[in-house]
A and B are shown apart, each in its own frame.
Chain A
Amino acid sequence: MAAMTTGAKARWTLLDIIVVIYALVPVLWIVSLSFKTPATLTDGNFIPREWTLQNYADIFSTTTFLRALGNSIGIALISTLIAVVLGTMAAYAIARLEFPGKRALVGVSLLIAMFPQVSLVSPLFEMERSLGLFDTWPGLILPYITFALPLAIYTLSAFFREIPWELEKAAKMDGATPAQAFRRVIAPLAAPGVFTTAILVFIFCWNDFLFAISLTSTEASRTVPAALSFFTGSSQFEDPTGTISAAAVVITIPIIVFVLFFQRRIVAGLTSGAVKG
């Protein structure tokens, strides 16, 4: 890198800037909208002429958004936790054990991931209504786990396969029970994989709109993406774009925090994971 000429450096910088702009413009646009007053909302300026925090004040002044935010956080965290725990155990078994029906199990879990979710919405709606799960937290958590598990199992089993089996044998020889070997040797080494999976699953649950809009009907369990679509302006002639933008900005923050928090763990895990020789 030190030997890079100024010309090459300039080209790389330009390329980086283009990529960053391409990726960030829509996000910055939303941020910009969230700070505009209703009058200047459609003036097309990238930088707001009149700054206002009214949109943020509006979304936090009603219970609609706060309830939805609570639902989102709770549902996404619980789903992530359960999916990662189950996924870890399943992936470990798939990576380590030979058992009858292993291929079938992996195949079926892949099938679930391939299934178009929209085709499952109607049956799920009917089932949840008759089971009394409709418009409850478990009513969303269950389908989220179902769809997150294949992803979790796939990512995690790849991580487990990379851990030398001899480490486990060594732990056994050192006097560990299988549970101790897993907890004290395998799990710490698989941590980067677990955190990666947790991030992916969390983002999936957090951003889901389809299930959220179809399987909820009230504030009891409606998550933010679904709640956004029910936003209204202060009168029916007013467009709620400003408040929707403000809400979109607010719900991005937990994801950023979540990713940044676990990213540190991922890096820490990878450096300590250097094995063998």
Chain B
Amino acid sequence: MAEIVLDKVSKQYPDGALAVSDVDLTIADGEFIILVGPSGCGKSTTLNMIAGLEDITSGELRIDGERVNERAPKDRDIAMVFQSYALYPHMTVRENMAFPLRLAKVDDKTVRAKVDEAARILDLTQHLDRRPSNLSGGQRQRVAMGRAIVRDPKAFLMDEPLSNLDAKLRVQMRTSVAKIQKKLGTTTVYVTHDQTEAMTLGDRVVVMRGGLVQQIGSPQFLYEQPVNLFVAGFIGSPSMNFVPARLENSSVSSPLGNFPLTDRIRTLLEDADAPREVIMGLRPEHFEDATLLDDTAMSGGATFESTVDVLESMGSDKFAYFTLEGEMATSAELEELAADAGASDLSADGTQIITRLSASSQAKEGHPARIWFDTDKIHLFDPHNGRNFTYAD
């Protein structure tokens, strides 16, 4: 177990491409930290640099206070779980899990005891003599975990370990990964492109984009206080709604109507010296069917009326989709997020808004509905650099 410190760590490839730029990160002993971002954001490169599989171009990596930049992976005492599991196909499950111990020249008795212990934790005992090719995806994933935990490394590195599993198993394994990590208390760095995994697993989440760290914080903090447009759009599912908005003397005009700014937001905007044209963001759960609210509840927000395009009833909630006429919010960050979600070629007329309403809402597809939203929960972003004016530490 150990503290891992990344001190201005950068990775530049020989062709000049900067994969990771000046990452500063202190991972506390026993912490579960998630690196998340769209593909190509440098999260895997960062992980590989911690592992020692890629050289660090500049900066310093310290494990337990010792500089390890120049150490080979085997001398860093770190275990890694790969996306493809990378099990040795010519060895049985037992041999796979014992491999790191054999290399470390541990005596047979200890090897047997440790493998049995790991197999018990991971529920693999009855599979110990099988080969990886005869195991299911979930079992292979557990063997890969087992190989990592048998030797009590200083840290675990996990490179999208669940992305090859089907959806149901992924949720199951997610919980067991979290449990095992809590039980062992080993420092863990986990890479994923799935924001749900990031939100549910980590003590802290590091959002990366284009080799740069965007924001580091607890999942809840990132959700409530995204530092910029990119983090706001990336964290949360369904994601935050974005519409263009115009600030006029302490009120906002937007496709969702005109409404006054709350005091909290006005103070923040004044400090931030915001321009007049901004992008407004609002999460789906901050909308509600206006017919369900009384006047006191309505007073803290504004309403708009529109036709429900699609209504999805989840049982516990209803998701209502609206299309707002008029121009869409545009920025480099939003385009990148859309491209990552594979939605960049979906040409929609107007802005699509997703709202989460109570299950008791009477809204119907194809019928107009009056929707209330909480004006104190809005985020206002700079359309040029994506900065969140309403961000407060």
Residue ranges of A at the interface with B (Cβ–Cβ < 8 Å) = 164, 166-167, 169-177, 180, 184-185, 188-189, 272-277
Partner of A172, one of B73, B132, B140, B151: B73
Residue contact A274 to B133, C-beta cutoff 8 Å? yes
Residue contact B164 to A174, C-beta cutoff 8 Å? no
Q: Given the complex, which residues of B lie within 8 Å of A167, measured CB to CB?
A: 86, 88
Partner of B103, one of A166, A176, A276, A277: A176
Residue contact A185 to B88, C-beta cutoff 8 Å? yes
Measured CA separation A28–B73 after assembly (Å): 60
Partner of B74, one of A175, A184, A189, A272: A175
Residue ranges of B at the interface with A (Cβ–Cβ < 8 Å) = 51-53, 72-74, 78-80, 82-90, 99-100, 103-104, 131-133, 135, 137, 140, 147, 151, 157, 164
Partner of A189, one of B80, B89, B103: B89
Residue contact A172 to B72, C-beta cutoff 8 Å? yes
Q: Given the complex, which residues of B lie within 8 Å of A180, measured CB to CB?
A: 103
Extra 10 A-B pairs, beta carbons < 8 Å, given A166-B82, A169-B82, A175-B74: A164-B86, A166-B86, A170-B147, A173-B74, A174-B100, A175-B151, A177-B72, A273-B89, A274-B132, A277-B140
Q: Given the complex, which residues of A lie within 8 Å of B132, measured CB to CB?
A: 274-275, 277
Query: Contacts A272-B131, A277-B137, A277-B140: A173 and B90 contacting too (C-beta < 8 A)?
Result: no
Residue contact B100 to A189, C-beta cutoff 8 Å? no
Partner of A174, one of B72, B99, B131, B135: B99
CB distance from A81 to the nearest CB of B (A): 23
CB distance from B269 to the nearest CB of A (A): 49
Residue contact A174 to B53, C-beta cutoff 8 Å? no
Q: Given the complex, which residues of A lie within 8 Å of B86, measured CB to CB?
A: 164, 166-167, 169-170
Q: Given the complex, which residues of A lie within 8 Å of B103, measured CB to CB?
A: 174-176, 180
Q: Given the complex, which residues of B lie within 8 Å of A184, measured CB to CB?
A: 99
Q: Given the complex, which residues of A lie within 8 Å of B100, measured CB to CB?
A: 174-175
Q: Which 6 A-B pairs have the closest CB atoms?
A: A274-B133, A170-B86, A174-B100, A166-B86, A173-B80, A175-B74
Measured CA separation A166–B81 after assembly (Å): 10
Residue contact B89 to A177, C-beta cutoff 8 Å? no
Residue contact A174 to B82, C-beta cutoff 8 Å? no
Nearest A residue to B73 by beta-carbon distance? A172
Measured CA separation A164–B132 after assembly (Å): 14
CB distance from A114 to the nearest CB of B (A): 33
CB distance from A179 to the nearest CB of B (A): 12
Nearest A residue to B141 by beta-carbon distance? A277
Q: Given the complex, which residues of A lie within 8 Å of B52, measured CB to CB?
A: 172
Q: Given the complex, which residues of A lie within 8 Å of B87, measured CB to CB?
A: 170
Nearest A residue to B131 by beta-carbon distance? A272
CB distance from B138 to the nearest CB of A (A): 10
Q: Given the complex, which residues of A lie within 8 Å of B72, measured CB to CB?
A: 172, 177
Nearest A residue to B134 by beta-carbon distance? A274
Nearest A residue to B75 by beta-carbon distance? A175
Q: Given the complex, which residues of B lie within 8 Å of A166, measured CB to CB?
A: 82-84, 86
Q: Given the complex, which residues of A lie within 8 Å of B140, measured CB to CB?
A: 277
Can you identify 14 A-B contacts, CB atoms within 8 angstroms?
Answer: A169-B73, A170-B87, A171-B99, A172-B52, A173-B78, A174-B100, A176-B74, A177-B72, A184-B99, A274-B132, A274-B133, A276-B85, A277-B137, A277-B164
Measured CA separation A275–B88 after assembly (Å): 8
Measured CA separation A133–B80 after assembly (Å): 54
Measured CA separation A261–B8 after assembly (Å): 57
Nearest B residue to A177 by beta-carbon distance? B74
Q: Given the complex, which residues of B lie within 8 Å of A272, measured CB to CB?
A: 89-90, 131, 133
Q: Given the complex, which residues of B lie within 8 Å of A275, measured CB to CB?
A: 89, 132-133
Measured CA separation A173–B135 after assembly (Å): 23
Residue contact A189 to B84, C-beta cutoff 8 Å? no
Nearest A residue to B133 by beta-carbon distance? A274
